[in-house]
Chain A
Amino acid sequence: MRRVVLYERFERFWHWAQALIIITMMLTGFEIRGILGLHLFGFQRAVTVHNALAVALVTLIVFAIFWHVTTGEWRQYIPTRKFLREMVAFYLTGIFKGASHPVKKHRMAKLNPLQRLAYLGFKVLIIPVQITTGALYYFYPNLQHAFGWSPSALWFIAVVHVLGAFGLVAFLIGHVYLTTTGHTPLTNIKAMITGWEDLPDDEYFDENP
């Protein structure tokens, strides 16, 4: 075993900042919609916070994209079928029997095939849909005015935005749960906080033997 920095400082900042922003946007968003009679911020402040955080999130994502491109870390998210079947089998049965994880983590391949799919979907589907519908929502009065959009366009935008939000909540629940499937329940979260994780020695990948 050896300790490596699995998550760079920026990566960790990006992850936790994004988590904070998204969770706050969920709470404010659900308050605005009036779900469960949520009353945390007050409607007007909830709207202000939600809109401000939207700008913050987009800014953060711009930096994150720059980081992914310049560091080459984007390759971590290239989907693969390799070990996909094994991963599914692991979560469905192996994990209960104490089987070892079918995919070895490595600095250059820290995501298993299921993670790759999930996070790629998160990055190229859910987040863009939320940002797009959010922007359309915010600028709807202008768009309606400029293009004569029908009132039902706003309804459609809102429905997609809300379904995306529910999807994000489900993602968050699953994501948090799966962090507990590491070596110990807190291993993964600790790694995401400190950056360090103990990885098994691996000759095939080892760049510094």
Chain B
Amino acid sequence: MPHPPRKPSPPRMRRILQFLVGLLVLVPLTVHAQETAAPAPSGHGSFTAAHAAKARTQTADHSKFKILQGPFKDGDGPAVTKACLTCHTKAAQQVMATSHWTWNVAKDGNDGYGKSTFLVNNYCLTIIGGNTEGCTRCHAGYGFKDKSFDFNQQENVDCLVCHDTTGDYEKERAGMPNPAVPLADVAQKVGSPTLKNCGACHFFGGGANATKHGDLDDTILKAPRTEDVHMSKQGAGMDCVDCHTSDSHKVGGPNYVIPADRREQPKFPGESVSRMSCAACHTDAPHKSYVLNRHYQKVACQTCHIPAFARGERPTNTFWDWATSGRLKDGRPYEEKDANGWPTYTSMRGKMVWERNVKPSYIWYNGNLKFTRLTDTLPASRPVVLNPAEGSYTDPNAKIWPFKFHEATQPYDPVLNKLVAPFTDGPPGSGAYWGDWKMDIAVKKGMDTAGLPYSGQFDYLRTTMLWPITHMVAPKEQALTCTECHARKGRLAAVPGFYLIGRDRGTGVDFIGFAVIILTILGVGIHGVIRYLHGRH
């Protein structure tokens, strides 16, 4: 029996078909529309969500606790701490075991790497020459005035500086709260540390905003995404503690001991430890390109993804010339400022250079900076690098890393060949440098206070200090292009110990190559000319 001719599908069937096809097209479209319609802030979606969820992680409403209702005496921080310790019984002991409290770190079995001991930098130099009280405004404790401070008093731990969420908390000399701080209100609203808590000290290293690090200053609080993809509110909106995770109040990532990137990987997604490397979140192969991913072996992520530091509105200090400090006008200290209002000279500190958008310097770095203490004899080479970075091409843990190089002149003892700790912060008549403007007396006083030997002579020494750059990660569009480094005079022009394509080409090899090519051209040229001439005749 022959098949009947195929009938055109009835209108009803066609409509159903159309509907089904329409559904196929529409469903993904609407799902997509719903996804995009959701309030998704720009930047890294998942982390922004994590950030928003943070408020829910607290299981206690501290305003419900009677003991936090106060009243507390004005400026009586220790009373608040005592109240905290009634529930958080181990918290103070935990904090007391960290460098936020001790200001001292042991390194390779040697003690003395900290502000409270013998560590020295080339900004404000050191605190132990009698400057403790002014500097301990940033100590996570109360009453650290001088070396008689009792590091075992639990109520002297300052809980609020890290856990205040109101923004009203403020510390003064010796770390005591400003008497105007409404302590009970602050205590009832404690929470997880945010950028502001950490920034209260870490944005202001070196004595003022943006001075020390170059990749950390308070512009991050209001930064566009281009300044810092992680911490900008337009970006991932992350807090410091999202990477600097802590265990028993021990915050990860102190510069003095932890290798900066040990290629640690989380053992499972979202694991709370070891987020101290980019790879912990981004994996060690985040690019689509295999060739780019392999750079990970020898190049820190920061090298390409932080094209410049101090990218906010604030410049960072790159040169600090103590040797020119102490000049007075009519017996009084003075300041000179550039067109932008940044000090180019102050009697207190000497000549200063401030820079924005600074190209980092690049060196091999395995995470270990070899710091110089006041007790260490200086190397013979000049200028002295106070904290040379360890690492080389052949070191499997070392990578090429971006640094801020901070240059300075600072007082030292040319006889003992050691750095010195001048007494800088004090009133006129105290012998302090910023009171009486006599460096010889200030050094003598400072070394006496510190209990360190001093020959009685001082001179100024040119020093360099290295600050690894790791914050202010730029959006990926601003990452370095290949030829920033793969070029004759690129950013890595001075990084030794390996062959870098595009940078290293023995001119001898190219000379031989071009000679061969030119000889070939000459050969065939002459041959051709002779052929041509013969052919014509």
| Residue positions of A touching B, CB distance < 8 A | 32-35, 43-44, 47-48, 51, 91, 95-98, 141, 145, 150-152, 154-155, 158-159, 162-163, 165-167, 169-170, 173-174, 177-178, 180-181
Which of A47, A150, A154, A166 sits near B513, CB closer than 8 Å? A166
Please determine whether B530 and A151 come into contact, CB atoms closer than 8 angstroms. Answer: no
| Residue positions of B touching A, CB distance < 8 A | 289, 291, 294, 297-298, 393-394, 396, 481-483, 486-488, 497-499, 501-502, 504-506, 509-510, 512-514, 516-517, 519-521, 523-524, 527-528, 530-531, 534-535
Q: How far, in Å, is A118 (CB) from chain B's closest CB?
A: 13
**In the complex the two chains form, what is the Cα distance from A34 to B486 in whole Å?**
9
Q: Taking chain B's interface residues, is the majority helix, strand, or loop, or is none over half, making it mixed? A: helix
Closest residue of chain A to B396 (Cβ to Cβ) is: A145
When distances are taken between beta carbons in the complex, the residues of chain A under 8 Å from B521 are 173
Which of B394, B482, B517, B523 sits near A151, CB closer than 8 Å? B394
- A162 with B509, Cβ < 8 A, contacts A48-B289, A51-B291 known: yes
Which of B291, B394, B497, B513 sits near A165, CB closer than 8 Å? B513
Q: How far, in Å, is B421 (CB) from chain A's closest CB?
A: 42
When distances are taken between beta carbons in the complex, the residues of chain B under 8 Å from A170 are 516-517, 519-520
| Most B C-beta atoms less than 10 A away, residue of A91, A98, A151, A152 | A151
Q: How far, in Å, is B511 (CB) from chain A's closest CB?
A: 10
- A96 with B534, Cβ < 8 A, contacts A33-B502, A43-B482, A43-B483 known: yes
List 29 A–B pairs whose Cβ atoms lie within 8 Å, in order of A's numbering: A32-B502, A34-B505, A35-B505, A43-B483, A43-B502, A44-B482, A48-B291, A96-B534, A98-B535, A141-B294, A141-B297, A151-B393, A151-B497, A151-B498, A152-B499, A154-B498, A158-B499, A158-B501, A162-B509, A163-B512, A163-B513, A166-B512, A169-B517, A170-B520, A174-B520, A174-B523, A177-B524, A177-B528, A180-B528
Which of B482, B498, B509 sits near A159, CB closer than 8 Å? B509
Given contacts A97-B534, A98-B535, A169-B517, 16 further A-B contacts (CB under 8 A): A32-B502, A34-B488, A35-B505, A91-B527, A98-B534, A141-B297, A151-B497, A154-B499, A162-B509, A162-B510, A165-B513, A166-B512, A173-B517, A174-B523, A178-B524, A180-B528
Please determine whether A155 and B504 come into contact, CB atoms closer than 8 angstroms. Answer: yes
Closest residue of chain A to B289 (Cβ to Cβ) is: A48
**In the complex the two chains form, what is the Cα distance from A57 to B298 in whole Å?**
30
**In the complex the two chains form, what is the Cα distance from A34 to B482 in whole Å?**
12
When distances are taken between beta carbons in the complex, the residues of chain B under 8 Å from A181 are 531
**In the complex the two chains form, what is the Cα distance from A33 to B486 in whole Å?**
9
Please determine whether B527 and A32 come into contact, CB atoms closer than 8 angstroms. Answer: no
Please determine whether B291 and A47 come into contact, CB atoms closer than 8 angstroms. Answer: yes
- Smallest CB-CB A-B distances: 7 pairs: A166-B513, A177-B524, A43-B482, A151-B498, A155-B499, A170-B520, A96-B534
- A162 with B520, Cβ < 8 A, contacts A154-B498, A154-B499 known: no
**In the complex the two chains form, what is the Cα distance from A178 to B289 in whole Å?**
42
Q: How far, in Å, is B207 (CB) from chain A's closest CB?
A: 42
When distances are taken between beta carbons in the complex, the residues of chain B under 8 Å from A98 are 534-535
Which of A43, A51, A177 sits near B481, CB closer than 8 Å? A43
Closest residue of chain B to A169 (Cβ to Cβ) is: B517
Q: How far, in Å, is A37 (CB) from chain B's closest CB?
A: 9
Please determine whether A96 and B516 come into contact, CB atoms closer than 8 angstroms. Answer: no
When distances are taken between beta carbons in the complex, the residues of chain B under 8 Å from A51 are 291
Q: How far, in Å, is A90 (CB) from chain B's closest CB?
A: 12
Closest residue of chain B to A181 (Cβ to Cβ) is: B531
When distances are taken between beta carbons in the complex, the residues of chain B under 8 Å from A44 are 481-482
**In the complex the two chains form, what is the Cα distance from A52 to B512 in whole Å?**
28
When distances are taken between beta carbons in the complex, the residues of chain A under 8 Å from B486 are 32, 34, 43
When distances are taken between beta carbons in the complex, the residues of chain B under 8 Å from A180 are 528
Please determine whether B297 and A145 come into contact, CB atoms closer than 8 angstroms. Answer: yes
**In the complex the two chains form, what is the Cα distance from A170 to B502 in whole Å?**
22
**In the complex the two chains form, what is the Cα distance from A95 to B531 in whole Å?**
7
When distances are taken between beta carbons in the complex, the residues of chain A under 8 Å from B516 are 166-167, 170
**In the complex the two chains form, what is the Cα distance from A43 to B500 in whole Å?**
14
**In the complex the two chains form, what is the Cα distance from A161 to B291 in whole Å?**
19
Closest residue of chain B to A159 (Cβ to Cβ) is: B509
When distances are taken between beta carbons in the complex, the residues of chain B under 8 Å from A96 are 530-531, 534
Closest residue of chain B to A144 (Cβ to Cβ) is: B297
- A162 with B482, Cβ < 8 A, contacts A48-B289, A96-B531, A97-B534 known: no
**In the complex the two chains form, what is the Cα distance from A44 to B505 in whole Å?**
18
Q: How far, in Å, is B320 (CB) from chain A's closest CB?
A: 36
Q: How far, in Å, is A53 (CB) from chain B's closest CB?
A: 14
When distances are taken between beta carbons in the complex, the residues of chain A under 8 Å from B498 are 151, 154
Please determine whether A166 and B499 come into contact, CB atoms closer than 8 angstroms. Answer: no
Q: How far, in Å, is A134 (CB) from chain B's closest CB?
A: 12
**In the complex the two chains form, what is the Cα distance from A98 to B509 in whole Å?**
40
Please determine whether A162 and B502 come into contact, CB atoms closer than 8 angstroms. Answer: no
When distances are taken between beta carbons in the complex, the residues of chain A under 8 Å from B506 are 159
**In the complex the two chains form, what is the Cα distance from A141 to B509 in whole Å?**
23
When distances are taken between beta carbons in the complex, the residues of chain A under 8 Å from B535 are 98
**In the complex the two chains form, what is the Cα distance from A48 to B287 in whole Å?**
14
Closest residue of chain B to A172 (Cβ to Cβ) is: B520
Closest residue of chain A to B497 (Cβ to Cβ) is: A151
Q: How far, in Å, is A43 (CB) from chain B's closest CB?
A: 4
Closest residue of chain A to B521 (Cβ to Cβ) is: A173
**In the complex the two chains form, what is the Cα distance from A163 to B517 in whole Å?**
11
Closest residue of chain A to B482 (Cβ to Cβ) is: A43
Q: How far, in Å, is B318 (CB) from chain A's closest CB?
A: 30
